[in-house]
């Protein structure tokens, strides 16, 4: 992990489960950013956000059995991930609305959080993600390798299959591997299972938030068509498609992505804000 802007690391107890957390403290007054990572990805992978968005607090955590979090105690679902995120936010004193960002699997968690805690969400950013189980699938060879946890445990496997997996150039494998901590097998499987049968399609039209959807035109896992579905279903969404970009474009093209994020996060609120929000009953 870079020493330029290191996070505060800690642990937060969420019922029976202990979660490893990270908070990058910002130097300005920007709205805090809650970040949900991709499947099997440890919180160190979010380090570029801390370095390139230094004006705002950034909060993230490792899911059970991922990174530095102990293995899962019980199976969990997306609603629990959103609840865990709220618990982490409150633990660190973030009791006002936050911006919410999710990448890949984490995009589903971000959608769930935005629906479950609408009044705790200011703006939503969805990267390389889909509406869940009802989606346009990626390439078979990519999906079969994605289900194999060796991509996190065997760096040779990752390097050899990087372009097939993600659609990104193999040169990006070293950057990804340098920040990678292998998940436990139980952690990886439980995270896969968490999204089985889940879809955001029924509630996407109810989301009132300004939403930025980002996609890579060479994404082998989540094709661009899914970003267009999200754009069509979310009332206040806009879309940005990066050229020559695979599934990991947030990492591989960070210098292009960050200005787009900053413009979206820093601009004044749009004037066509809905008058009221639907707040589901949640824990």
Nearest residue to 180 (alpha-carbon basis) of 206, 156, 152, 160: 152
Nearest residue to 224 (alpha-carbon basis) of 237, 214, 210, 234: 214
The sign of the dihedral angle between the CA atoms of 78, 84, 85, 90 is positive
Catalytic residue among 104, 130, 142, 200: 104
Token pair 């390097």 is at which residue?
159
The reply to whether 69 belongs to the active site is no
Chain center to CA of 213: 12
Query: What share of residues in the chain are helix, strand, coil (percent, to 5)?
Result: 40, 20, 40
Nearest residue to 162 (alpha-carbon basis) of 121, 94, 223, 221: 221
Do 243 and 141 meet the contact criterion of CB atoms below 8 Å apart? no
Do 34 and 98 meet the contact criterion of CB atoms below 8 Å apart? yes
Task: List the alpha helices (DSSP H) in the chain.
Answer: 47-52, 78-91, 105-116, 140-146, 150-153, 155-166, 172-178, 185-194, 224-233, 249-252, 254-266
Residues labelled catalytic = 104
């Amino acid at each position: 992990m870079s020493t330029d802007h290191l996070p505060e690391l800690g642990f937060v107890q969420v019922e029976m489960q202990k979660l490893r957390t990270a908070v990058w403290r910002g130097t300005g007054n920007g709205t805090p950013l809650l970040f949900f990572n991709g499947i099997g990805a440890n919180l160190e992978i979010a380090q570029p956000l801390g370095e390139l968005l230094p004006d705002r607090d950034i909060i993230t955590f490792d899911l059970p059995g991922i990174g530095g979090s102990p293995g899962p105690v019980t199976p969990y679902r997306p609603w629990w991930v959103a609840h865990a995120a709220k618990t982490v936010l409150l633990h660190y004193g973030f009791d006002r609305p936050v911006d919410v960002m999710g990448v890949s699997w984490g995009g589903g968690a971000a959608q769930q959080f935005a629906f479950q805690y609408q009044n705790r969400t200011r703006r939503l950013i969805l990267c390389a993600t889909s509406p869940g189980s009802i989606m346009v699938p990626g390439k078979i060879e990519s999906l079969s390798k994605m289900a194999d946890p060796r991509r996190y445990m065997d760096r040779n496997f990752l390097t050899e299959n990087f372009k097939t997996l993600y659609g990104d150039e193999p040169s990006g494998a070293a950057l990804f591997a340098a920040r990678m901590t292998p998940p436990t097998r139980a952690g990886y499987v439980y995270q896969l299972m968490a999204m089985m049968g889940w879809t955001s399609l029924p509630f996407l039209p109810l989301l009132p938030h300004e939403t930025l959807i980002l996609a890579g035109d060479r994404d082998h896992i989540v094709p661009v068509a899914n970003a267009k579905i999200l754009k069509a279903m979310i009332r206040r969404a806009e879309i940005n498609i990066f050229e020559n970009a695979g599934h990991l474009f947030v990492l591989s093209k960070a210098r292009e992505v960050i200005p787009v994020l900053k413009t979206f996060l820093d601009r004044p609120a749009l004037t066509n804000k809905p008058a009221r929000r639907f707040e589901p009953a949640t824990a």
